[in-house]
Amino acid sequence: MSFKNLNYVHLSKYFYIFSIALTLAGIICLSVFGLNYSVDFRAGSNVDITLSKGITAEQVQPILDKLKIADEASISPGEERMNIRFTQVLNEDQEMKLKGEISKLDEKASFEVNTVDPEMAKELARNAIYAVLISCLGIIVYVSIRFEWRFAVAAIISLLHDAFMVVAVFSIFRLEVDLTFIIAVLTIIGYSINDTIVIFDRIRENLRFSKLKNRQDLIELVNRSVSQTIMRSIYTALTVFVAAFFLFLLGGESIRMFSLAMVIGLLFGAYSSIFIASPLWFVLKSKQKNKPAKAS
Amino acid sequence: MKRIFAFVTVVVVISGIMAWSTPGLLKSVHLGLDLKGGFEILYEASPMEGGEKVSRQSLLKTAQSLEDRANKLGTSEPEVTTEGTNRIRLKLAGVTDEAEVRKLMKEPASLTFRSKDGTEKSENEYNKIEMVGTDFVENAAKLELGSMNEPIVAIKVKDKKKFAEITERLLGKPLAIYMNDKMISDPIVQNVLSDGTATITVGGDRKKAEELRDVINLGALPLKLTEKYTQSVGATLGKQSLDKTIEAGLIASAFILLFMVGMYRVPGLIAAFTLIVHTWLLILVFVWADFTLTLPGIAALILGVGMAVDANIITNERIHEEMKNGKSVMSAVKAGDKHSFRTVMDSQLTTVIVAAVMYWFGTGAVKGFALVLIVEIVLSIATNIYLSRFLLNLLLKAGKLLKPKYFGVKESEIREL
């Protein structure tokens, strides 16, 4: 197969450009527009209603006006579901009245009400970021012992890359970020490190049986290692991707954004292991080789 | 023959146990609120009056009384946890009248001392309220030792006269102590107490004495609970999304298993078997350790299964590689196992380290995710590395499978040495 004999190190230039461009776009988008936070991260109430018959926004609006909770509330009607988002936290009384009024329109309506103090969600997010950063230290220690520090650095850059890419994509496409998003990013990080280590393991194995005289030897070694593991990378990415994709297509509404984040993250995870992590290790390693003679 | 017999026995016995136990196990998995629907409230407790600090004791006591109340409402398995110095998290499932529950839960602890007034229907009932919680001096109930070295509870009231009048009237009769509507103790009044203090004996039971002390202190200074965060998930919605998610999971699993068998033939079949064993063991651990399955848990499960599949793919790809380099089936499997073992271990251990750190430093959902992931990887190493190798080697040593095609390798792909 053709991709078995690709010059990954050579190609990585383009992928670096792609990743850096996307990172920059992500940073710009994040700093200008931020993320489209769900009600988890904003004070306010979110009411999801499962309906047995169609109810239009026009029918609901008067109820909100009557209860004096219409202030910037947005209503998104659907076939079987209706979502009403309030910019204020409904008190118990308002919540009960709202449910009562809507039940008058549809007796079988079932409600999912989230009333969130954003402080809790922010606390969890902050905590998750700390946990990820500290676990990077764990990776540095373990990988430095089992491999060498260059692998650790490359692995961490690639896993942070994956996590950030998902955040960037969510920011660029204005996809909604809720609490499950944090869990999805953690999952992606787990996958990314697992995926990267397998390729690194092959580089380590090949290193032991090779004499590296110059830069060209090193390039060949990285290319050989990646191509020896490329089938595994593809199969694994494919199976995990398909599993996540089924979850996205068929899973419940409440985990749709979660599965989407997983699908995007898994693709980036597979991509970065091959095109970012391994070439990055090469860059670090080639600096060490006492400036080997320029390859022909 | 012996080895074939062993192989068949292992597979049949494990399959039998799985088939027999799975329905029961599935029923006993605890589902989190996000999956089965229910109601979660985070309370912040503050003293009813004044700026006194919330003591650990009264917080625990309040949490306990919330649990008692939830139990009384007939909700299934209320989960009450205290967080930090002044927060209580309450999780309830199967709530039908949410408004009622929220109202009941918020009511402060009510401590009453009661006597009989003739309307009681049974021996252990006391209907006439003589004193209420605020009649007692805040935080004055203390554990002391009586003359026989038995634990007693000393209390102090605010109104000496009232207390003297009550004790005089009830001399020789019981004065029962109630928390909300639950009787804690019904000591007999021994003396007329005019100095505003009293001691209560509880029959030498230290635990009971401690409980009484905490109850009285809480009653004297009840905590006010404010809802900091509430989340309610309609049971039908929870059920709907769970069913859909399980359906999606089953379809994805079927695809993965078919893929493994299609790609790797006999070892693929073994991998499919060990993947099923792996998932079954995970459910077993969930039930035994009384874990609650939540969405983060499912996320970890997906990642874990993905990594388990990866372990199988790595091993089998390596075996393919060795075969294509011209090794015999036997030595290809041996070399493939040996080389891939280190790869798989390193990749899984790195992930365990990440998960362990997340568990250590994370909170809530992050912790749950990390814990499930760690358990899964350990199980995965047992099944997808050790069990599958054991089974494959049984078949090989029995002299079966000695052709590369059983591994999904075509003769034409094998390079001549």
Residue of B nearest to A194 (CA): B347
* B102, B350, B356 ranked by CB distance to A143: nearest: B350
pLDDT digits (tens, 9 = 90+) for A187-212: 899 889 999 999 999 999 999 988 88
Mutate to test the interface with B, among A130, A186, A224, A234 (most CBs of B within 10 A): A186
CA distance B289 to B371: 12
Q: Which residues of A touch B376 (CB under 8 A)?
A: none
pLDDT on residue B237: 60
Query: pLDDT class for A169, splitting at 50, 70, 90?
Result: very high
pLDDT on residue A293: 46
* B233, B242, B358 ranked by CB distance to A112: nearest: B233
Q: Which residues of B touch A195 (CB under 8 A)?
A: 310, 347
pLDDT digits (tens, 9 = 90+) for A10-32: 888 899 999 999 999 999 999 99
Residue A42 vs residues A67, A87, A122, A137: alpha-carbon distances, Å: 22, 8, 9, 32
Q: Which residues of A touch B361 (CB under 8 A)?
A: 127, 130-131, 134
CA distance B185 to B212: 8
Kindly determine whether residue B321 and residue A190, on different chains, have CB atoms separated by under 8 Å.
Answer: no
What is the DSSP code string of B370-390?
HHHHHHHHHHHIIIIIIIHHH
Kindly determine whether residue A255 and residue B313, on different chains, have CB atoms separated by under 8 Å.
Answer: no
Residue B106 vs residues A67, A219, A295, B46: alpha-carbon distances, Å: 24, 68, 76, 12
Average pLDDT on A285-295 reads: 63
Q: For chain A, what are the domain ranges?
A: 2-38+119-288, 44-116
B8: contact with A, CB 8 A cutoff: no
A132 or B82, which is more confident? A132
Would you state the structure tokens that stand for residue B369, as one six-digit string?
A: 């995710």
Residue A133 has pLDDT above 50, yes or no: yes
Q: Which residues of B touch A126 (CB under 8 A)?
A: none
Residue of A nearest to B96 (CA): A110
Kindly determine whether residue A246 and residue B354, on different chains, have CB atoms separated by under 8 Å.
Answer: no
CB pairs under 8 A between A and B: 209
B9: contact with A, CB 8 A cutoff: no
B222 or A217, which is more confident? A217
B282: contact with A, CB 8 A cutoff: no
Distance in Å, alpha carbon of B308 to nearest chain A alpha carbon: 10
Domain B2-30+234-413 bears CATH identifier 3.40.50.300: no
B208: contact with A, CB 8 A cutoff: no
Q: Which residues of B touch A258 (CB under 8 A)?
A: 295, 299
Q: Which residues of B touch A127 (CB under 8 A)?
A: 361-363, 366
Written as tens digits, the pLDDT of chain B (417 aa) is 788 899 999 999 999 999 999 999 988 888 877 777 677 888 888 876 665 677 777 788 778 777 777 776 666 667 788 877 788 888 887 666 666 777 777 777 778 888 887 777 777 788 888 888 778 887 778 888 877 788 888 888 888 888 888 888 888 888 888 877 778 888 888 888 888 888 888 777 788 888 888 777 777 767 778 777 777 666 566 667 778 888 888 898 899 999 999 999 899 999 999 999 999 999 999 899 888 887 778 878 888 888 899 999 999 999 999 998 888 888 999 999 999 999 999 999 989 998 998 888 877 778 888 899 999 999 999 999 999 999 999 998 888 777 888 888 887 887 765
Q: How far apart are the first and last CA of chain B?
A: 33
Q: Which helix (H) or strand (E) holds A227?
A: helix A215-250
Domain A44-116 bears CATH identifier 3.30.70.3220: yes
pLDDT digits (tens, 9 = 90+) for A58-83: 888 888 888 777 766 777 776 677 77
Q: For chain B, what are the domain ranges?
A: 2-30+234-413, 35-109+225-232, 111-219
Q: Which residues of B touch A114 (CB under 8 A)?
A: 231-232
Q: Do A177 and A207 form a contact (C-beta atoms < 8 A)?
A: no
pLDDT on residue A92: 77
How is domain B111-219 classified at the architecture level of CATH? 2-Layer Sandwich (3.30)
Residue A294 has pLDDT above 60, yes or no: no
Residue of A nearest to B253 (CA): A243
- Residue ranges of E strands in B70-117: 76-83, 87-93, 111-115
The one-letter code for the residue type at B139 is: N
Q: Which of residues 16-75 of B touch A (CB under 8 A)?
A: 34, 42
CA distance A165 to B24: 42
* B231, B343, B365 ranked by CB distance to A201: nearest: B343
Residue of A nearest to B350 (CA): A139
* B103, B248, B365 ranked by CB distance to A124: nearest: B365
Residue A38 has pLDDT above 80, yes or no: no
Residue A179: closest CA among B197, B409, B366, B332: B366
Kindly determine whether residue A187 and residue B263, on different chains, have CB atoms separated by under 8 Å.
Answer: no
CA distance B245 to B302: 11
Q: Which of residues 375-404 of B touch A (CB under 8 A)?
A: none
Q: Which residues of B262-292 are buried (b: 16+ CB within 10 A; e: fewer)?
A: ebbbbbbbbbbbbbbbbbbbbbbbbbeeebb
Residue of B nearest to A128 (CA): B362
pLDDT on residue B235: 58
How is domain A2-38+119-288 classified at the architecture level of CATH? Up-down Bundle (1.20)
* B295, B350, B366 ranked by CB distance to A142: nearest: B350
- Residue ranges of E strands in chain A: 36-37, 44-50, 74-77, 81-85, 110-116, 176-177
Kindly determine whether residue A135 and residue B354, on different chains, have CB atoms separated by under 8 Å.
Answer: yes
ipTM over 0.85: no
Kindly determine whether residue B306 and residue A240, on different chains, have CB atoms separated by under 8 Å.
Answer: yes
pLDDT on residue A296: 37
B256: contact with A, CB 8 A cutoff: yes
Residue of B nearest to A127 (CA): B362
Q: Which fold has domain B35-109+225-232?
A: Alpha-Beta Plaits (3.30.70)
A215 or B120, which is more confident? A215
* A117, A135, A146 ranked by CB distance to B346: nearest: A146
Mean pLDDT of all residues in chain A? Answer: 84
Q: pTM of this prediction?
A: 0.74
Q: Which residues contact A1 (CB under 8 A, 6 or more apart)?
A: none
CA distance B378 to B272: 18
